[in-house]
A and B are shown apart, each in its own frame.
Chain A
Amino acid sequence: RKEVEQDPGPFNVPEGATVAFNCTYSNSASQSFFWYRQDCRKEPKLLMSVYSSGNEDGRFTAQLNRASQYISLLIRDSKLSDSATYLCVVNIVTGRRALTFGSGTRLQVQP
């Protein structure tokens, strides 16, 4: 089983739509959680951290469910510029302290 699993998509949605991505992680001792965004042929960049209480940044909402080992990202009012791959990232504490990435979910927002 992969340490971090994501639905690869692609998710094709019209502008203005609401879309949600899910991610599960295998190690219950994981401590930190993030969503990174990666544009085509570019490097990953931090989109937002994910906190236990859930957090929002403009049109983006992240949720964490530790009991189910599940992370989500909700994007409201999708823009064309949101088209990218969204990477779920977990700090898995198994003697390592580096970030472990999922394979990413590709989003394509259509005009």
Chain B
Amino acid sequence: EAGVAQSPRYKIIEKRQSVAFWCNPISGHATLYWYQQILGQGPKLLIQFQNNGVVDDSQLPKDRFSAERLKGVDSTLKIQPAKLEDSAVYLCASSSLGTGDTEAFFGQGTRLTVV
């Protein structure tokens, strides 16, 4: 079974530029998460989708971050404009249920460096 796919693996941009990340979850998984992991910290939830609806985006900095999950499958996360403090690994995860009781499978992440 294919895992969670993310691209790109690495991205370097200048501050104030825009960037987008793509995620394809495990087939059949209704729940998709985007997490931000800053070096030395645990993953922090940015947004959770159940199919193509948003369940929780309370920690998403909405003035610069946006995410969508059209058709309830793939998802994109965008940052516009980027700040230095956005340098982090952006992890996409999926699970079969959206209750937080089941395993979340993570992609390899996109390592973003803002200079």
What interface size band does chain B fall in?
Answer: 20 to 34
A44 near B100: Cβ-Cβ < 8 Å: no
* B63 CB within 8 Å of chain A: no
Interface of A: prevailing SS: loop
A97 near B108: Cβ-Cβ < 8 Å: no
* A96 CB within 8 Å of chain B: yes
Note all chain A residues with C-beta closer than 8 A to B21. Answer: none
What interface size band does chain A fall in?
Answer: 20 to 34
B100 near A32: Cβ-Cβ < 8 Å: yes
Besides A32-B101, A91-B100, 18 new A-B residue pairs in contact (Cβ under 8 A), listed by A number: A8-B40, A31-B101, A34-B103, A42-B108, A43-B107, A45-B106, A46-B103, A46-B104, A93-B100, A96-B48, A97-B56, A97-B98, A97-B100, A98-B33, A99-B33, A99-B45, A99-B100, A101-B42
Q: List 24 A-B contacts (CB under 8 A).
A: A4-B42, A8-B40, A32-B101, A42-B108, A43-B91, A44-B43, A44-B91, A87-B43, A95-B56, A96-B48, A96-B100, A97-B99, A97-B100, A98-B45, A98-B48, A98-B55, A98-B56, A99-B33, A99-B45, A99-B104, A101-B35, A101-B43, A102-B42, A103-B42
